[in-house]
Amino acid sequence: MSTPKMTEEHIKERKEEIRRAMEKITPRIMLDYFEKRIIGQHKELMMIVYMLYTYLQLACKEVITDVPSWVLTAPSGCGKTEVYRTLKAFCADQGIPIPIIHVDLSQITEAGFQGKEANSIIQSLALEDSVLDGIGICFLDEADKKFSPSHNSDGEDINAKTQSNLLTMIEGSVENIPLKNGGARRMDSNQTMFVLMGAFQDLRNSKQKRIQTTDRGIGFICRDVEPSTEDVFYGDITLEDMIEFGMLEEIAGRMQMVVNFHKLSIKDMTDLILSKIHILEQELQISIVFDDNTINSLLDISYTNLGVRHVTNCLRTLAFRAISEVFYDKAIDSNCCLVIENSNSAYIEFAGEQEVQKTHRCG
């Protein structure tokens, strides 16, 4: 294990690497990078990039204090996890040597925070980079799964206990974390940025149900206006909502702000679908043909709880099914293309065998 002096030198060297990398990056460069990968959330991304950029600048400092933590929420499929992926890719592309991890909190239990595994999340950060002693960004996904009460056979709310352990970590603690190759590393979570992420599906459903009940009235008194439940479902979730849902007030108090991603417009969703088709085309190394009816069919299935993730899965299923039907008898090469008719139908077209109207070609 490194001596304390060597450890301090390594930390200074790593911070200097971060500083030199950040000298070449402006906030606009970082925002443009994010907006190329996350569509339709311009105002929200401005806030997110501001917080991430200022933290990367803070990570260079000799003393790190007042590290912000925050919440990112939206219905599933709106791009929450893509924020983590984009930041990870950005730092790799720009040579910023800072650990960035993604943890599924639904897999964390009260028992997972006991004994040697007392700080398994911070341990993940140490395994990602054992030099920086707590500097890094932790995306804690599925956080909402730990905010609603969950009782064991003895009637104990096990989620409340897990939240208490999360609070200790988010508030800041110093622990010696065992490393893979032996020894231990001092990790100070006071220097860590935590991002809580979640769809808060149950909370949204509850709010939607309450609005439906209110709009329709009780008994024989009923409004003529149809309830606008869609706006409620995709509307903003506040810290007050989260506390009512079951988040500890102390955790809410450590969150600097809540960023809400919103429902994409039809234009933005169309652009996102086109980008997914293009990615699939590059991955399969085959031309993909489709028309306006195809896009409309995919739009019909995009506005669900799964969002564009549903579309991505649908496209892959269609492509793999169509390819597998001819894969064993004919060569799949540049002389053929994948024709997607709608969200339920696709086939491989071979040159000269069948003519189809090629209204659009991706790429």
**What tokens were used for 328?**
């064993």
The pair phi, psi for residue 128, each rounded to 5°, is: -70, -40
* Residue 94 confidence (pLDDT): 97
* Fold matches, 4-200+237-260 and 266-361: no
Q: List 289's β-bridge partners, or say none.
A: 339, 361
Intervals of the chain under pLDDT 70: 1-6, 109-119, 130, 149, 151, 153, 211-233, 352-363
Q: Please tell me the class of the 266-361 domain.
A: mainly alpha
* Residue 221 confidence (pLDDT): 42
Write down the CATH number for the domain with range 4-200+237-260: 3.40.50.300
Q: Decide if 44 contacts 262 (C-beta within 8 A).
A: yes
Task: Specify the DSSP element, H or E, that contains 80.
Answer: helix 80-94
* Residue 212 confidence (pLDDT): 60
Q: In the sheet that 255-260 helps form, which strands lie side by side, from edge to edge?
A: 100-104, 136-141, 192-198, 69-73, 255-260
Domain extent listing, the chain: 4-200+237-260, 202-231, 266-361
pTM: 0.80
> What region, left, alpha or beta, does residue 277 occupy, with left being phi > 0 and alpha being psi -120 to 50 degrees?
alpha
What's the rounded Cα separation, in Å, for the pair 60 and 80?
27
